[in-house]
């Protein structure tokens, strides 16, 4: 019989592994050492992230994955890995990490700054679910779109970007609404429009409530190609709020708040500060899409509170902000717009939620 939860030794291993990664990334900020070994450690951490709840869930599913699986591409990962679970995770998260590496290259980011931000802010979420592969694929495609110069439009870059954006849907069907936001990279938004969108949140809540009602009635999207997405949306629409103990609620809230804090800082520094930081045009485009995803997540969270329903859609979309927020924070760090100490303080809630989760599991065993 397979274990459904990690052992004391596995939790302890993950805690020390994560703290070592944090220490290494702290020491390397600003240095131009070769960082290939850090990327390899990240893949190893993802493969061995026993503390992530879905680790054991995926292991139990692997022998049964076939072409009828919700995302059939994972059937081919299962075949390529010979249904060996560790090899399966290496292929999935190895590809996700490789795509994330190319995101940093496309956006011309300093590797040491990026890895510091990523490890402290988003790695514990990145290693959790296979949706990370969809995230990396989507934001690589979006980065390619954002880096196209309008006066020198390159069809090859547009096609390549489109390929990775569309591919994200086949890695995780929840990316359909995010894919719909992609054309935003071709528009310009001023801070007045951003303020207007925030003011209109109650209107967006009402609109999303109508969409979820349509999902509950099984009339959201027609067509076989979107059947899986529609079924998932329907399932979420019918879910009710789960009640957890205070410790789990505290850890979850710390994580969610911790993902908002860096973006609020970015929003203030780039749009509303007296001495505003001007993002390069390509990062400005990524910022806009990131803002809309945060907006979508916020509307879902508020809707779940007002209707006493599940907040699963809220945190699903919130987690999708991890990569673009990491990219934007890494840029500010490498441009010396904040110190690594200040960056750590901005990431403290997410860091504490990870350490607190693992310590809590250790103490409860």
Residue 187's pLDDT band, with cuts at 50, 70 and 90, is: confident
- Is a pLDDT exceeding 60 seen at residue 150? no
Phi/psi for 107 (5° steps) reads: -95, 10
**Which pLDDT value is given to residue 31?**
83
How many Å apart are CA 337 and CA 110, to the nearest integer? 14
pLDDT per residue as tens digits for the range 26-40: 999 988 777 999 999
User: Which long-range contacts (C-beta less than 8 Å, at least 24 apart) are formed by 198-204?
Assistant: 198/295, 201/295, 201/298, 201/299, 201/302, 204/295, 204/299
| Structure-token pair, residue 25 | 């990334």
**Above 80 in pLDDT, residue 218?**
no
**Stronger pLDDT, 173 or 320, i.e. the higher one:** 320
- 200 pLDDT more than 80: yes
pLDDT exceeds cutoff 80 at 207: yes
CA 59 to CA 66: how far, in whole Å?
14
pLDDT at 353 over 80: yes
The half-sphere exposure of 278 on its side-chain side, counting CA atoms within 13 A, is 2
| The pLDDT of residue 260 is above 70 | yes
Q: Is 19 strand, coil or helix?
A: helix
The rounded mean pLDDT for the chain is 88
pTM, two decimal places:
0.90
Residue % of the chain over a pLDDT of 90: 65
- Find out whether 148 and 157 touch, Cβ atoms under 8 Å: yes
> Please, is 112 exposed, middle or buried when counting C-beta atoms within 10 Å of its C-beta (0-12, 13-18, 19+)?
buried
pLDDT band at 268 (very low <50, low <70, confident <90, very high): very high
pLDDT tens-digit series, residues 42-70: 999 999 999 987 899 899 999 999 988 88
The answer to which of 43-52, 141-150, 155-164, 344-353 has the lowest mean pLDDT is 141-150
Task: Answer whether 330's CB lies under 8 Å from 117's CB.
Answer: yes
Q: Which of 5-9, 245-249, 280-284 has the lowest mean pLDDT?
A: 245-249
Residue 170 has pLDDT above 60, yes or no: yes
* Position 209 confidence tier, pLDDT thresholds 50, 70, 90: confident
| Average pLDDT estimate for 290-319 | 88
Within 8 A by CB and 6+ apart from 29, the residues are 112, 113, 116, 333, 340
pLDDT of 233 above 60: no
In this prediction, residue 1 carries a pLDDT of 39
Tokens 């310009």 locate to: 188
Mean pLDDT of 189-200: 90
């Amino acid at each position: 019989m397979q274990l459904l939860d990690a052992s004391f030794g596995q939790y302890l291993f993950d805690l020390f592994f994560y703290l070592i990664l944090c220490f290494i990334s702290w020491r390397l900020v600003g240095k131009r050492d070769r960082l290939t070994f850090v990327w390899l450690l990240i893949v190893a951490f993802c493969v061995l992230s026993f503390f992530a709840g879905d680790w054991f869930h995926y292991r139990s599913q692997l022998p049964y994955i076939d072409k009828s699986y919700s995302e059939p591409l994972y059937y081919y990962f299962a075949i390529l890995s010979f249904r060996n679970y560790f090899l399966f995770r290496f292929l999935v998260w190895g590809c996700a990490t490789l795509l994330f590496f190319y995101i940093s290259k496309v956006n011309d980011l300093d590797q040491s700054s990026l890895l510091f931000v990523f490890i402290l802010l988003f790695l514990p979420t990145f290693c959790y679910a296979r949706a990370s592969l969809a995230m990396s694929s989507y934001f690589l495609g979006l980065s390619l779109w954002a880096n196209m110069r309008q006066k020198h439009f390159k069809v090859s870059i547009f096609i390549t970007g489109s390929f990775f954006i569309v591919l994200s849907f086949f890695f995780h069907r929840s990316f359909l609404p995010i894919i719909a936001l992609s054309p935003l990279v071709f528009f310009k938004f001023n801070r007045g429009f951003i303020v207007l969108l925030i003011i209109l949140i109650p209107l967006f809540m009402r609109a999303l409530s109508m969409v979820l009602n349509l999902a509950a009635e099984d009339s959201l999207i027609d067509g076989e190609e979107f059947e899986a997405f529609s079924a998932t949306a329907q399932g979420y629409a019918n879910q009710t709020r789960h009640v957890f103990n205070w410790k789990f609620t505290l850890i979850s809230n710390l994580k969610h708040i911790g993902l908002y804090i860096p973006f609020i800082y970015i929003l203030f520094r780039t749009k509303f500060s007296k001495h505003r930081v001007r993002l390069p045009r390509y990062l400005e485009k990524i910022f806009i899409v990131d803002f809309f995803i945060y907006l979508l997540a916020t509307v879902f969270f508020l809707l779940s509170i007002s209707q006493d329903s599940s907040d699963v859609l809220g945190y699903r979309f919130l987690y999708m902000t991890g990569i673009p927020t990491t990219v934007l924070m890494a840029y500010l760090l490498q441009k010396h717009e904040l110190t690594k100490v200040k960056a750590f303080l901005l990431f403290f809630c997410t860091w504490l939620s990870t350490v607190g989760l693992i310590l809590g599991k250790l103490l409860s065993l």
